[in-house]
């Protein structure tokens, strides 16, 4: 991988610093100090005063000026080389992405994918060099832009049992109690926040005349990994939901008309919260659930949608598993084992085959599908990844006794999405257990498209189509 070359080049600078010490008194001290600082060398054990005092810089002002410019040129040269290597690596990695012509605005998506790949490579190399963690830079850049003031909505930040939330309420008075919508944002459990989905929540509140509660935590997001260990994210969403169900009437909400909604991992949290609450009799029941291209299982990464969209833009098959391991704070070297299915024992494959199986996918979604070569389980990998088989991580594994008691559902899937088949399989499970399902499939859609919603020319038609489908479903309650 070319991005590995980037790390190697800079790391080489760090390793060569050790040979400079004997020459510190031979060369201009100013230049060498600049070199050492640039390459991250610890100067605690180097006598800087001795270097400067014995260098010719003290007695030759002209040379001092020349060497100052030389030092600046050296720094600029290395930074330029680094940037060029990153751009080359990004261009190379971007070529691996397959952007079919039928996807929503392929040229625009290709540009966004190139930029995302650039940021990701910079983030990974920064972590490799010990500058900062990979997720920090990605959060900073893709956290969403602040939205303009909305005169039609009352917006306030609150805390529900210690979990920060943002509430959206239309200013126009209502003759009766409104419905409530609890929204969980996507972002692999590591990225995103209330701000990244601000425009989506505002739109839902205005168009459906609902009280919307967007669940977040520190910096307006729920407790994110890796700072907060799994399952802290699930528990925050559950805590906020229970609290709102108890006090909904305080906000003019009918407690019997509360809907939970989420995209991507937010869809995972939506499914999990509904499953967790099926046996609760002390609080109102959730009326409905909306899952937008949800992640719902981690047993099989070789379903038809995984094969078809293995190299799709923004969320590839490899990137999906990489984020899963990062989210769980696991060793990312296990990625290949998970992709091959070596984390699942034969007995578990047999047990869940009735629910997670390519044979359960409609034929029209299996064109070109080739069954993978069977692999044996690696016990060590299975032991290290047992969280993958918990229903709070893989809601598709819940027993029928739970599934049959779930509220009515709306599932939105996208054709150009590795997670497409998760939604299709969950749809079948719900229907097999007599749970009513409204399904929308966006033929030109791709994973992450609603993250661009509300950004005018920078958005996609599929972004609006998905949000409108969700709003129309919500308005039915």
CA distances from 438 to 204, 269, 413, 424, 441 (A): 18, 19, 11, 12, 10
Q: Name the strand (E) or helix (H) holding 71.
A: helix 61-95
264 given a catalytic annotation = yes
Sign of CA dihedral 451, 456, 460, 462: positive
Is 417 in the active site? yes
- Among 264, 342, 459, 462, which one carries the catalytic annotation? 264
Q: Whose CA is closest to 78, among 169, 170, 14?
A: 14
Q: Please say whether the beta carbons of 320 and 447 come within 8 A.
A: no
Active site residue 176: no
Q: Which is the catalytic residue, given 104, 236, 263, 417?
A: 417
C-alpha span between 304 and 242 (Å, rounded): 37
Residue 256, H or E segment: strand 253-263
Per-residue tokens: 156: 């306030």
Q: Mind giving me the DSSP string for 146-188?
A: PPPP-TTEEEEEEEETTEEEEEEEESS--SSPEEEEEEE--ST
CB atoms near residue 114 (< 10 Å): 17
Q: How many residues does the chain have?
A: 477
Q: How many helices (H) and strands (E) does the chain have?
A: 17, 8
Q: Across-strand partners of 178? A: 253
Q: Considering 113, 185, 322, 447, which one is annotated as catalytic? A: 447
State the DSSP string of 273-293: HHHHTTT--SSPPP-EEEEES
Q: Which residues are catalytic?
A: 264, 417, 447
């Amino acid at each position: 991988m070319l991005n590995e070359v980037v790390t190697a080049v800079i790391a080489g600078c760090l390793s060569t610093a050790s040979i400079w010490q004997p020459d510190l008194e031979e060369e201009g001290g100013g230049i060498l100090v600049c070199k050492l600082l640039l390459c991250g060398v610890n100067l605690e054990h180097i006598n800087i005063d001795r270097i400067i005092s014995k260098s010719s810089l003290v007695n030759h002002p002209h040379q001092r000026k020349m060497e100052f410019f030389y030092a600046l040129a050296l720094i600029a040269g290395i930074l330029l080389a680094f940037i060029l290597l990153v751009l080359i690596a990004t261009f190379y990695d971007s070529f691996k992405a397959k952007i079919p012509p039928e996807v929503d605005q392929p040229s625009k998506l290709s540009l966004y994918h190139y930029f995302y790949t650039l940021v990701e490579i910079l983030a990974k190399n920064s972590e490799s060099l010990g500058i900062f963690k990979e997720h920090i830079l990605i959060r900073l850049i893709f956290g969403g832009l602040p939205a303009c003031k909305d005169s039609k909505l009352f917006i306030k930040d609150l805390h529900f049992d210690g979990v920060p939330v943002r509430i959206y309420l239309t200013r126009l008075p209502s003759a009766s109690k409104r419905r409530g919508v609890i929204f969980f944002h996507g972002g692999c459990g590591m990225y995103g926040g209330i701000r990244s989905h601000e425009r989506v929540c505002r739109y839902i509140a205005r168009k459906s005349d609902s009280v919307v509660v967007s669940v977040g935590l520190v910096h307006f997001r729920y407790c994110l990994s890796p700072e907060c260990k799994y399952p802290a994210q699930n528990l925050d969403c559950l805590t906020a939901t229970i609290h709102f169900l108890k006090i909904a009437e305080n906000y003019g909400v009918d407690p019997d008309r509360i809907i939970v909604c989420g995209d991507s991992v937010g869809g995972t949290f939506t499914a999990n919260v509904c499953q967790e609450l099926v046996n609760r009799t002390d609080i109102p029941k959730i009326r409905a659930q909306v899952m937008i291209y949800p992640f719902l299982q981690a047993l099989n990464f070789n379903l038809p949608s995984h094969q078809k969209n293995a190299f799709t833009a923004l969320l590839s098959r490899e990137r999906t598993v990489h984020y899963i391991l990062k989210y769980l704070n696991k060793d990312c070297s296990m990625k290949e084992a998970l992709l091959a299915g070596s984390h699942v024992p034969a007995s578990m494959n047999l047990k869940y085959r009735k629910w997670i199986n390519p044979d359960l996918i409609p034929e029209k979604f299996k064109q070109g599908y080739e069954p993978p070569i069977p692999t044996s389980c690696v016990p060590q990998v299975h032991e290290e990844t047992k969280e993958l088989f918990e229903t709070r991580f893989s809601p598709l594994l819940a027993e029928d006794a739970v599934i049959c008691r779930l509220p009515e559902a709306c599932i939105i899937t996208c054709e150009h999405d590795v997670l497409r088949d998760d939604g299709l399989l969950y749809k079948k499970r719900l229907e097999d257990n007599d749970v009513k399902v409204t399904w929308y499939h966006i033929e030109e859609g791709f994973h992450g498209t609603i993250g661009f919603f509300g950004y005018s020319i920078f958005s996609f038609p599929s972004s609006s189509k998905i949000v409108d489908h969700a709003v129309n479903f919500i308005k039915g309650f």
